[in-house]
Amino acid sequence: MGADGRKAIFITGAASGIGLAAAKRFSKEGWFVGLADIDAAGLKAALGALGAGNVSVHKLDVRDRAAWKKELAAFGKASGGRMDALLNNAGVAHFGYFEDQTDDEADRQVDINIKGVINGARAGLELLKATPGSTLINVASCAGLFGAPKMAVYSATKFAVKGLSEALDIEYARHGVAVRCIMPWFVDTPILNAGSQGSNENITDSIRQSGSEVYTVEEASDVIWRSLHGKDLHWVVGKAGKRMRFAARFMPGSVRKQLKGLTQA
């Protein structure tokens, strides 16, 4: 079913968490939504919640370049040849000391969090260029503001997404495509339960110990929505994230001392 001239967004990691919340928000705003994920059951549930006339469904592993091309072609056909926004949201985390994480866990984070975003930015450019006023939205993290202990590889991937977004913001302006980088603080998603094979501890345990705030997926999706209507490149989710951004810039020594406390658990 076509999008009947409606604005259209393609969202990765759309079966749960921030991706699903964003899909609901954009659908509510009258957009046609491409739901992309590797979770077939989650996609089926999302389809049921949003309605077949409002979405197209795409089984997509963001590491697969050929699958990106295939699914974006299908989305373009369903959306009437437009993609007003591409939300690179899919991501994974493994929590634990660097030496306790396996090679496979490290590779998985790099492959999905960095390579997956690069694949989307490259594969999506054709449709973005064909849609006046379009935007590439990459989800990074406040872990990309200052390296977080027990999240070393994850932090590295989010620094990379932030850097990629900053570079593409300049490059893609040549094509009339805007770029936004979303940096959430801790958000209540399945990723908070991520641990590693070498540890029973997860991100939730660390948050509980530090007394940090946790924000809702709806708050994150609201920031994503607002980013399309503003001019800033970087968009932080949560007051705690904004405090971290300020401190990382002006008081890095204090941030480093605070984060060291998390390694005493």
87-126 burial, b for 16+ CB within 10 Å, e for fewer?
bbbbbbbbbbeeebbeeebbebbbbbbbbbbbbbbebbbe
Query: Which stretches of the chain are DSSP H helices?
Result: 17-28, 40-50, 65-78, 103-109, 116-123, 125-129, 152-171, 203-210, 217-227, 239-250, 252-260
Domain count, the chain: 1
In a domain, 21, yes or no: yes
Domain at 84, CATH number: 3.40.50.720
pLDDT of residue 265: 45
Residues in the chain: 265
Cα separation of 94 and 108, whole Å? 9
Cα separation of 178 and 170, whole Å? 9
- Mapped onto helix, strand or coil, the DSSP state of residue 242 is helix
In a domain, 3, yes or no: no
In whole angstroms, how far apart are CA 160 and each of 116, 138, 244?
12, 11, 18
Cα separation of 211 and 206, whole Å? 9
Average pLDDT, 10 consecutive residues per value, the chain (265 residues): 79 96 97 97 95 94 98 97 98 92 96 98 98 98 86 95 98 98 82 56 58 81 96 90 74 70 53
In a domain, 2, yes or no: no
Active site residues: 154
Q: Count other C-beta atoms under 10 Å from residue 52's C-beta.
A: 10
pLDDT of residue 190: 66
pLDDT of residue 29: 97
Report phi then psi at 51, rounded to 5: 95, 135
The domain containing residue 240 runs over which residues? 8-264
In a domain, 200, yes or no: yes
In a domain, 1, yes or no: no
